[in-house]
Amino acid sequence: MNNIAKGLKKFQKRVEADVKEGVKSFVELQYTQSSDRVPVDSSELLNSIDKSVDGYKGHVSVSAPHAIFVEWGTGVYASGPGGSRAKKIPWVYEKDGKFYTTYGMPAQPFWYPALHISRDYFNSYFNRK
């Protein structure tokens, strides 16, 4: 193999390693930022944040069913896509044998603020010269 081909092969390996490192650090940042921002009551939401990295692919997810309500709020406070779907505001619910009236819960964003930070990092990492 000539020197040019060897040099290109070395360069290819460095680029591949750099891309994999960029994906890994992006996933870690999104995981850490969202975990640090999530409000903790029972830890179910915090413990539902998961991450995985496989070479060029990374994945961060939140599996708790109530995550969307924490992120966007509920009732009169709902700020997400489509707003509130509550048919009656205020509403009453029962918990531990007691009845409560609520107009909803204000949003406590954790995912999208973390995503904005992670996106900026991703763009700066892969747009550097």
pLDDT tens readout for residues 63-94: 999 999 999 999 888 887 767 777 788 989 99
Rounded distance, CA 30 to CA 64, Å?
A: 17
pLDDT band at 1 (very low <50, low <70, confident <90, very high): low
**What value does the mean pLDDT take over residues 107-116?**
95
Rounded distance, CA 102 to CA 74, Å?
A: 10
**Residue 12, token pair as written in the block:** 């290819």
Those residues with Cβ within 8 angstroms of residue 56's Cβ, 6 or more apart along the chain or in another chain: 19, 20, 23
Q: What share of the chain has pLDDT > 70, as a percent?
A: 98
pLDDT above 70 (res 119):
yes
- Terminal CA-to-CA distance of the chain, rounded, Å? 29
Q: Give the predicted TM-score (pTM) of the model.
A: 0.83
Alpha-helical segments (H) within 1-129: 3-37, 44-47, 67-72, 111-126
pLDDT band at 57 (very low <50, low <70, confident <90, very high): very high
Cα Rg of the chain (Å, integer)? 22
**Residue 61, token pair as written in the block:** 């997810």
pLDDT band at 40 (very low <50, low <70, confident <90, very high): confident
